[in-house]
Amino acid sequence: MTTYRLQVNGKQHAVDLDPDTPLLYVLRNELGLNGAKFGCGLGQCGSCTVLVDGKPAMSCLVPVSSVGTRAVRTVEGLGSSDKPGVLQQAFIDEQAAQCGYCIAGMIMQATSLLERTPQPTDAQIRAHMAPNLCRCGTHMRILRAVRRAADVLARTPGGAQR
Amino acid sequence: MSEQAPCNAGRRRFIAAGGALTLSFAMPAWSAPGELPKSLDKTPWLDAWIRIGADERITVFTGKVELGQGIKTALLQVAADELRLPVGRLLLVTADTERTPDEGLTAGSNSMKDSGTALRHAAGQVRARLGELAAARLSVPAANLILKDGAFSAPDGRRATFGQLVAGQELHVRATPEPAPPAPGPKTAIGKSVPRVDIPPKLTGGRAYIQDLRLPRMAHARVVRPPSQAARLVDVDAAAVMRLPGVLKVVRDGRFLAVIADGEYRAVKAATALARAARWDTPASLPKHPDIASLVRAQPAQPYPILERGVPGTPGKTLRATYTRPFQLHGSIGPSCALAQLVDGRYTVWTHSQGVFPLRGALAELLGVKIEAIRCIHLEGAGCYGHNGADDVAADAALLARALPGRPVRVQWMREEEHAWEPLGAAMVVDVAATLGLDGRIADWEYAVLTPSHNQRPGKAGNLLAATHLARPFTPPVPTPSPQPEGSGDRNAIPYYAIPNARVTHHFQPQAILRTSALRGLGAYCNVFAIESFMDELARAANADPVEFRLRHLTDPRAIDVVKLAASTFGWSSYRRPQGTTRRGRGFAFARYKNLLAYCALAVEVEVALETGLVRIVRAQAAVDCGEIVNPDGVRNQIEGGIVQSTSWTLLEKVRYDQQQVLTVDWASYPILRFTQVPDTVGVHLIDRPGQPFLGTGEAAQGPAAAAIANAVFDACGLRMRDLPLDRQRMRRA
């Protein structure tokens, strides 16, 4: 067991763990964050997507020992049921979920897109979201929700930074 | 118990009336006059469905469960509307063997029909009963009371709230068959696109899933599955595994092998070590066949004639074709998960099973205890689309909780386990022949569907995976086909068209080479694919437009309406192939799910890429009639999802195996549709039928989507694709 200091959603945490423990298990079981989900453990589905240093990462494949001082962000950092963030609100407005198991990963993947490319084309959205799988077939709504969020951010001063 | 339910009297009439198909168009009422709706008949007490607290808290109970289909919201809408309350005033409790009515399975697109109808009936009678209580309390005739915001008001302004009226057992009365009079005033919820109550926590990291349940002193377990279907565990050296950090117990019973640890990733690592420490004998047990048709045809079958009408032998042009479907996966995006705890001889099992009551019975048999010693509580999992690993993992958790009494044990399957061991959607072969009369109509129809069981749910302990791996194994019960009109492998095998001479036979195969069970739509997916592809072939042989050809054979006005609506929103009659893209085409399909639930017609345009054989759905336009619509956006979401999921099945999905084991064990070996492959646009157009019974929508689109795509591919490149999934290499060579 080793002690690791992690910065998650702007807060510092110290956790005692085996060094090969994937970040996903740390987020869920040590920090009690439900957003990132176990989907495959193989980096094939994107259910566990979080942002590490602003870039999308499959947290099921990232050993906690490799995170270092890089900032980790999860869907919990974007907002709550009472105060959803812009992307979360767009997903609610479009009712862009069926079972919803993949959606937290989808939202984090989309966050990384809109932070780098605030006004993506539809083709850019599809290409960027391609690593993430949805089994219910909610794709059309997810695409609409990302588009809606981009439009909202475009109308919001300084929105692209949110 | 949708898929196992015996036919009620009305449905028996449907079968007996095989010679006069029009009888089946009589409106289903879901209960005959003088009878209660089915679920309510089983649990007739009003307070089993709706309870009102002195604090005005109103709780609605259902035996159905949320699968991501939005049923919680729709059922709340039904109850809220009858009570003339906003949805937000109600709480909902879903399937729990100690708290809710037993409504069997949440399956078969039956939840609105079963629970929606029962709740509407019960809530109406609760409202009427509250009105009587208010009349007595306020000494005013019930007719003079005004109901608003959960209270009755007398003309003089005195009020009685629901909570004041229900001090004790006032609602512990039996429902009566006669429905309450319609609620006065405008609807508060039905017909509105009320946002789903379950969505916000799912988007924000709330505790939304069984996977998120963390109990005090919870232990984590992983199962080491045999490396092949028939593998026998020769020996295992567990001593080294026991010494790994956090390992609490290694459990071995026959070829059921598992490890329990104090942390989840420790359990994962210990299971990997345990797998390495085990020696297995892995005999070849699966037959080798060149293709799915020869595999299916090689299995023994029992013929069940399900339609015999008229006398075949009409002279004319006869067409024949064979269609196939491989084994396919449910492929839940979240692997199956369950928790179980044994305390003082009583088990509590948290599960995402579609049927907590049937599961309880199977677990009781497995564990050798009375059903009273087990409580099964439903918590939502990832979408299951039928009988996946949900029940099996609950059995794993229960067995491991027995091995570690007192502590809650959480089991989550690994991806490879889910892919390799979930019950599969069954392989199918359809042989169809039809003769076109001189009038350009179908005169004779001969149809045979060959397939193993599409329903091996628990049931019995033998339906649970782990139970079949124990040293004293439980044997799976010999499956039987479900009766028409719902059917199982023969679901939708009877065409919904007026054909004078028709034979349909279900060749039911009691044994399959791999375990199979219910996958969304059961046989309807392939039967509708076959029938609607063949209708396209027949239309071309008759030199008829495919939409017009269908209309020629439809007599149900509601079917005609959806076909016309899908065609018109697509622009079918004015369609011109875009210039420059010679490999674009359009296709059409229609079905009424189970021939008695929702109507769905679909027109699609596809583009087939020359170099790659990839099919792109340019656009899809669907028209749906599901009776009275409770939540229009909820219906659209289900149909959109059905079209996209069926596109994935139809273009990509096939379980592969060798003589020992399933080989498609992850998303690389079993690819599903990604964002880069989904349709450009999907439109869903609804026909509302206020006052008509709820027909459900969850499975209505699966079959029509498959056939519409295949028909469009033919239109695009002249290739008739009769095998699922559509062969990309063949389209590339075309």
- pLDDT tens profile A68-93: 999 999 999 999 999 999 999 999 99
Instruction: Tell me which residues of chain A, numbers 62 to 121, contact chain B at a CB-CB cutoff of 8 Å.
Output: 74-76, 78-81, 84, 88, 91-92, 95, 97-104, 107
- Out of 3.90.76.10, 3.30.750.24, 3.30.200.20, 3.30.365.10, the CATH code matching B428-454+489-733 is 3.30.365.10
- The three-state secondary structure class of A62 is coil
Identify the domain boundary among A77, A95, A116. A77
Query: Do A125 and A71 lie in a common domain?
Result: no
- The three-state secondary structure class of A5 is strand
pTM of the model: 0.95
Mean of the pLDDT values across residues B46-65? 97
Binned at pLDDT 50, 70 and 90, residue B384 comes out as very high
**DSSP alpha helix (H) spans, B666-725:** 702-717
Q: For residue B667, give the nearest of A32, A40, A129 by CB distance.
A: A40
CB spacing of A100 vs B640 below 8 angstroms = no
Q: What is the CATH number of domain B31-192?
A: 3.30.365.10
Domain count, chain A: 2
Q: Tokens standing for B206?
A: 């709330």
Query: Rounded distance, CA B659 to CA B96, Å?
Result: 41
- pLDDT for the residue numbered A162: 44
CB spacing of B672 vs A84 below 8 angstroms = no
The predicted-structure confidence for B81-109, as pLDDT tens digits, reads as follows 999 999 999 999 999 999 999 999 999 99
Q: Does B185 touch chain A (CB under 8 A)?
A: no
Query: Rounded distance, CA B565 to CA B558, Å?
Result: 11
What is the signed CA dihedral for B207, A136, B457, B464, rounded to 10 degrees?
Answer: -60
Q: Does B697 touch chain A (CB under 8 A)?
A: no
What is the signed CA dihedral for B570, B572, B578, B581, rounded to 10 degrees?
Answer: 90
Query: Do A69 and A135 lie in a common domain?
Result: no
Query: Do A68 and A108 lie in a common domain?
Result: no
Question: C-alpha angle with apex B692: B686 to B696, nearest 5 degrees?
Answer: 60
The predicted-structure confidence for B539-574, as pLDDT tens digits, reads as follows 999 999 999 999 999 999 999 999 999 999 999 999
The predicted-structure confidence for B124-166, as pLDDT tens digits, reads as follows 999 999 999 999 999 999 999 999 999 999 999 999 999 999 9
Query: Rounded distance, CA B603 to CA B562, Å?
Result: 11
Query: Rounded distance, CA B432 to CA B447, Å?
Result: 4
Domain with CATH 3.30.365.10 in chain B: 31-192, 210-283+333-421, 428-454+489-733
Q: Which 8-state DSSP code applies to residue B43?
A: S
Query: Do A106 and A155 lie in a common domain?
Result: yes
- Out of 3.30.365.10, 3.40.50.11720, 1.10.3210.10, 3.30.540.10, the CATH code matching B210-283+333-421 is 3.30.365.10
Q: Which helix (H) or strand (E) holds A50?
A: strand A49-52
- pLDDT for the residue numbered A41: 98
Q: Does B203 touch chain A (CB under 8 A)?
A: yes
Q: Which 8-state DSSP code applies to residue B473?
A: P
Task: Please check the confidence at residue B11 and state whether its pLDDT lies above 70.
Answer: no
Task: Please check the confidence at residue B16 and state whether its pLDDT lies above 80.
Answer: no
Identify the domain boundary among A12, A46, A77. A77
Residue A152 belongs to domain spanning: 86-161
What whole-number percentage of chain B has pLDDT above 70? 96
- pLDDT for the residue numbered B581: 59
Query: Do A94 and A66 lie in a common domain?
Result: no
Contact call for residues A40 and A47 (beta carbons, < 8 A): yes
Task: Please check the confidence at residue B3 and state whether its pLDDT lies above 50.
Answer: no
CB spacing of B265 vs A18 below 8 angstroms = yes
CATH number of the domain bearing residue A113: 1.10.150.120
The predicted-structure confidence for B367-381, as pLDDT tens digits, reads as follows 999 999 999 999 999
CB spacing of A88 vs B668 below 8 angstroms = no
Contact call for residues A94 and A63 (beta carbons, < 8 A): no
What whole-number percentage of chain B has pLDDT above 90? 92
Query: Do A93 and A142 lie in a common domain?
Result: yes
Q: Which helix (H) or strand (E) holds A140?
A: helix A139-155
